[in-house]
Amino acid sequence: LARAWGVSAILVGALVVGLGTSMPEMLVSGIAALDDQLDVAVANIVGSNVANLTLVLGVTAIVAPLIARLEILKREGILMIIALAGLTVVVFDGEFARWEAGLLAFGMLVALYLLLRWSWRDAEAEAAAEADIEEMSGGDEHSWQREMAIGIVALAATVFAADLTLDGALGVGEELGLSATFLGVMLGVGTSMPELATAIASVRRNEGDLVVGNVLGSNLFNSLAVAGAAGFVGPGVIDASFRPAALVMLGVAVLAGWFASSDRVLIRTEGVILVATFVGFTLFLV
């Protein structure tokens, strides 16, 4: 898609891949909010963000060292941290009102504008490299159209599966006496599996920028668009027990950003630390 549309890989990662793989979160959180399960909706978002920053980046770095441009890490990384901070403020406020949901949605529009602007600026710098990749790929001009068609079919299946997933998870949670925080976070981990699969496939092709764009775009979309939609359709009180999880989310964002920006490479040791952080987070919730 990046080659076909003449835009940077980071834009495709953040918009097409990142936003596309966040559709499960949008559907699960939206349905939960409509069913007066706002706690589950918010926990799903927080859990997905934490899983993206620890499990997805960590496992990807273990598979192969993750290399991305420092400018992109700083630029899009700061944008993501601002979005996560906004979501954290909403969680600590305790009352998710529609005007707060509107602010998050507006933030998503601003983020989209910035991503598009940065991508247009980066496109010329990537032109030569993209031309080489196009030559190596065999120049199948229709491949991106086939991939998009497959993606649309997959998203349609996701719409059907999301409602079944939520109903099943709520039923199991009620039977076992699981908290909404734990249940929502585990749903978030499950809905992050598309991000993990995409990241591993990308890093094997040496597409570090695409991996970074995938995670950053997914977390932006989760924190602003998904949370905004959930708060708009089902405003209400957010349980105070979510606050530690929100702080962990913000903390791991800073940790992952520090690892990646220190030398532009996320190495296997750092990947192991991120995965261990995810395991510790899960045990803390239990």
In a domain, 246, yes or no: yes
In a domain, 233, yes or no: yes
Dihedral sign (CA 188, 191, 193, 196): negative
In a domain, 251, yes or no: yes
**pLDDT tens digits for range 261-276:** 766 677 888 889 999 9
**pLDDT tens digits for range 34-86:** 888 888 889 889 988 998 899 888 888 888 887 777 777 777 888 899 999 99
In a domain, 136, yes or no: no
In a domain, 140, yes or no: no
Indicate which CATH number applies to the domain containing 204.
1.20.1420.30
**How many structural domains does the chain have?**
1
Query: pLDDT confidence of 126, banded at 50, 70, 90?
Result: low
In a domain, 31, yes or no: yes
In a domain, 12, yes or no: yes
Provide the whole-model pTM. 0.81
Looking at the chain, the whole-number percentage of residues with pLDDT higher than 70 is 69
- CB burial of 188-224 (b: ≥16 within 10 Å; e: otherwise) equals bbbbbebbbebbbebbeeebbbbbbbbbbbbbbbbbb
Domain extent for 240: 2-131+147-285
**DSSP label at 94?**
-
pLDDT at 21 over 80: no
In a domain, 6, yes or no: yes
State the DSSP string of 72-88: HHHHHHHHHHHHHHHHH
How is residue 92 written in tokens?
């600590």
* Better-predicted residue by pLDDT, 285 or 123: 285
* Better-predicted residue by pLDDT, 228 or 175: 228
Q: Give the C-alpha separation, 75 to 13, whole Å.
A: 14
Q: Are 98 and 231 in contact (CB under 8 A)?
A: yes
Q: For position 202, what pLDDT does the model report?
A: 77
Segment 155-159 shows an average pLDDT of 59
